[in-house]
Chains A and B, each alone.
Chain A
Amino acid sequence: MKIIESGNVAAAIGVKLAKTQVIAAYPITPQTPLTEKLSEFVEADEMEAEYIAVESEHSALAVCIGAASAGSRAFTATSANGLLYMSEQVHWAAGARLPLVMCVVNRGLGAPWTVWNDHQDSISQRDAGWIQIYVNDHQEIVDTVIKAFRLSQTVSIPVMVCYDGYYLSHTYMPFDVPEQDKVDVFLPPYEYKHTLNPAKPENLNTVTMPFSRLDTDGVAQPSYMNIRYNLQQELRKSIDVFKDIDLEFKGIFGRGGDSIITPYHCDDSEFIVVSMGSLSNRIKDVIDQLRGEGIKVGALCVHLYRPFPDEAIVNMLADAKGVFVFEKAICYGNQGPLFSDIKAALYTQEKRPLIHNFILGLGGQEIKNVDLYDAIKQSCSAPETDNDTTRWLGLER
C-alpha cells in the first residue's frame, strides 16, 4: 500500500512493522515527530511495546542496552547533541555486541546552536563500532529500518540508520508500506543467547585485563584486545552479510539490491561525484544536466559508511579520471571524512584518479543546484587544478 507521509513517520512505521518490543527515546529536533509517532502507536495498542520515557539520551540508550541484554528488540532515535550526550553508551552498545537499531536524524552540532541538517553528528560516532547506513528517501528509510533489525541481530552489532533532518524527516513523499506478513517472514523474532535470567546469573561485559584471564571455572577468557579484534573482524564481514540480507529483502518486496553503494551512470563516466544521503538526489539532477551537455560524469551514492565498503567503492572509482567528493561533514583540522576514506581505499591502485573534496551544507547552509553545477563543471574541465584539496562550497561573501 502506498501512502504519503513524512520521513519520520516512515521510520516509525518501520519500527512498528519490525515488532519492536522496547522503545526508549528523548525528544530532540528534528527527530521529535518520530518518537511522538511511536508513542502514539504504543498508546493506541497498535504496537505491543514498552515505551519508556527517559530524562536524557544517555538513559535512552542505556535502557535499550538493558532491554537488548534481556532479549528484547529495542529501538531509540536521536539527533545532533542528543547523540553526543549518549556517546558513552553508543560505544558501550557496540562493545557489548547488542543488536539495537537507532535512527539518527542528521543535524549539525552546536556551538553555535543549529537545528538544521548536516552529517557531523553521526560522522562523529563513526569509530564507535556501529554499522552506519545513510539513506536517501522515505522508501529507503522504512525499508532500511527493517533491514537494520535483521542485520543487527544476524551479526550482533548495533546499526544506525541515518537520514537528513528536514530534507527527509519533515518532507512528505509517497512510499510503499511493507506488508506485515512479509516482514514477519523476513524478520524472525530476536533470540539472545545471553538473555538475563535470574536462574542463571551472569556478569555481562565484566572487567577485562590486558591479558587473558581465568574465569570462576578456571577457564581462560579473552583479553580486551581479542574481544575488540573480533568486533573489527565481524564488522568487516557485515558488508557481505548486509548484501545478502538486502538481496533477500529484494526477493520478498521487489525493492533494493543496491544497499551498499548506488552508482548512477558510472559505467561510461570519466568523472564521478560521490556523496551520501539526500544530497545524492540533488547531485543526480545536476548530473543529468551536465550529461545533457555531453560531459561524461556520473554519481556514486555511498549508503553503507561503516563498515566502509572500500572494495565496492574502488571497483567503481579506480578507472575514473577524476573523483569529486561532496560531503556535509568535516574532520576538523584535516579534511572531509568520506574524502579521506576514499583516498585511503584508492591508495593501493596503480592508476589513481585525480580527487577533489567539497564541504557544503553545514548547519543547513543552502545548497543551490547552480553551485553544484558550477563546481562539478569546473572540476570536470580542469581536474588537475586543485587536485587533492578541500574547498568549502556555498560560503557567503
Chain B
Amino acid sequence: MKDINFDIMTSNSKPGPGDAGRTGSWRVVRPVIDYEKCTAAKKQKSICHLCWLYCPDGVVTKEIEPKIDLDYCKGCGICAEECPVNAIEMVEETGPSEEEE
C-alpha cells in the first residue's frame, strides 16, 4: 500500500504520436491522394498543403508529395473536403486494418 503503483492507478502518457493508441483502427474510410491532381506534387513545389494544415490529428506530412500516417489517421475526411483540386478520395476500408492483422 505504501508504494503505490501510479502506472496502474491512472492513465498517464508521454505526449507524442500514439499516446491515445493506434487511432487508425477507428477509421472506416481511408484517404487516398492522387498525386496526378495534387497541386504540390504536380508543380513539384512546397505550396498549397491545405491537407497538412487542416488535418486535426497532424498526420499529413508537408512534403512535395504529402503522406498520410495511416496508423493514426481516423478517416475524418477533412483533408478530402478541403483539397481545392479534389485530389483526395475517401475509399471504403475493406478487410482488417494493418494493426488488426
Residues of A that sit less than 8 Å from B by CB: 95-97, 154-156, 193-194, 201-209, 213-217, 221-222, 224, 226-227, 230-231, 234, 237, 241
Q: Decide if A227 touches B15 in the complex (CB within 8 Å).
A: no
Q: Decide if A216 touches B21 in the complex (CB within 8 Å).
A: no
Q: Decide if B10 touches A207 in the complex (CB within 8 Å).
A: no
* B85 within 8 A of partner (CB): no
Q: Report Cα–Cα, A234/B4, bound state, in Å.
A: 9
Mask, B21-55, CB within 8 Å of A = 1, is 11000000000000000000000000000000000
What residues of A have a CB within 8 angstroms of the CB of B8 in the complex? 222, 226-227, 230
* B98 within 8 A of partner (CB): no
* B94 within 8 A of partner (CB): no
Q: Decide if A155 touches B1 in the complex (CB within 8 Å).
A: yes
Q: Decide if A206 touches B19 in the complex (CB within 8 Å).
A: yes
- With a 10 A CB-CB cut-off, give which of A96, A203, A237, A241 has the most chain B CB atoms: A203
Which of B4, B11, B13, B18 interacts with A227 by CB under 8 Å? B11
Q: Report Cα–Cα, A213/B2, bound state, in Å.
A: 27
Q: Decide if B20 touches A194 in the complex (CB within 8 Å).
A: no
Q: Report Cα–Cα, A155/B18, bound state, in Å.
A: 30
Shortest beta-carbon contacts, A-B, top 10: A213-B21, A216-B16, A203-B13, A207-B20, A206-B13, A97-B9, A216-B14, A215-B13, A208-B11, A193-B6
Which of A156, A208, A215, A222 interacts with B18 by CB under 8 Å? A215
Interface size class of B (residues with CB under 8 A): 20 to 34
A155 shortest CB reach to chain B, Å: 7
Q: Report Cα–Cα, A351/B16, bound state, in Å.
A: 59
Q: Report Cα–Cα, A50/B4, bound state, in Å.
A: 28
Q: Decide if B19 touches A203 in the complex (CB within 8 Å).
A: yes
Q: Decide if A222 touches B11 in the complex (CB within 8 Å).
A: yes
Q: Report Cα–Cα, A328/B45, bound state, in Å.
A: 74
Q: Decide if B12 touches A216 in the complex (CB within 8 Å).
A: no
Chain B residue with the shortest CB-CB distance to A238: B1
B46 shortest CB reach to chain A, Å: 28
Chain B residue with the shortest CB-CB distance to A212: B21
A selection of 11 A-B contacts at a CB cut-off of 8 Å is A95-B10, A194-B12, A202-B13, A203-B12, A206-B20, A213-B20, A215-B13, A216-B13, A216-B14, A230-B9, A241-B1
* B17 within 8 A of partner (CB): yes
Q: Decide if A214 touches B18 in the complex (CB within 8 Å).
A: yes
Q: Report Cα–Cα, A367/B34, bound state, in Å.
A: 79
Q: Report Cα–Cα, A226/B14, bound state, in Å.
A: 20
What residues of B have a CB within 8 angstroms of the CB of A237 in the complex? 1
Q: Report Cα–Cα, A169/B4, bound state, in Å.
A: 35
Q: Report Cα–Cα, A194/B15, bound state, in Å.
A: 14
Main secondary structure of the interface of B (DSSP, over half): loop
- With a 10 A CB-CB cut-off, give which of B7, B11, B17 has the most chain A CB atoms: B11
Q: Decide if B12 touches A201 in the complex (CB within 8 Å).
A: no
B20 shortest CB reach to chain A, Å: 5
Q: Report Cα–Cα, A230/B6, bound state, in Å.
A: 10
Q: Report Cα–Cα, A216/B21, bound state, in Å.
A: 8
Q: Report Cα–Cα, A217/B7, bound state, in Å.
A: 14
A239 shortest CB reach to chain B, Å: 11
Q: Decide if A217 touches B22 in the complex (CB within 8 Å).
A: no
Which of B5, B14, B17 interacts with A203 by CB under 8 Å? B14
- With a 10 A CB-CB cut-off, give which of B8, B10, B16, B20 has the most chain A CB atoms: B10
Q: Decide if B10 touches A96 in the complex (CB within 8 Å).
A: yes
Q: Decide if A205 touches B12 in the complex (CB within 8 Å).
A: yes
What residues of B have a CB within 8 angstroms of the CB of A204 in the complex? 10, 12
**New A-B contacts (18) at CB < 8 Å, excluding given A205-B12, A214-B22, A216-B17:** A95-B10, A97-B10, A155-B1, A156-B4, A156-B6, A156-B9, A201-B15, A202-B12, A207-B11, A213-B21, A214-B18, A216-B15, A216-B19, A224-B11, A227-B10, A230-B9, A234-B1, A237-B1
Q: Decide if B14 touches A215 in the complex (CB within 8 Å).
A: yes
Q: Report Cα–Cα, A395/B16, bound state, in Å.
A: 61
Chain A residue with the shortest CB-CB distance to B26: A209
- With A214-B21, A214-B22 known as contacts, the answer to whether A203 contacts B9 (CB < 8 A) is no
A188 shortest CB reach to chain B, Å: 13
Q: Decide if B13 touches A221 in the complex (CB within 8 Å).
A: yes
B85 shortest CB reach to chain A, Å: 35
What residues of B have a CB within 8 angstroms of the CB of A194 in the complex? 6, 10, 12
- With A155-B1, A207-B20, A215-B19 known as contacts, the answer to whether A201 contacts B11 (CB < 8 A) is no
Which of B2, B10, B14, B20 interacts with A201 by CB under 8 Å? B14
What residues of B have a CB within 8 angstroms of the CB of A207 in the complex? 11, 20
- With A214-B22, A227-B9 known as contacts, the answer to whether A202 contacts B15 (CB < 8 A) is yes
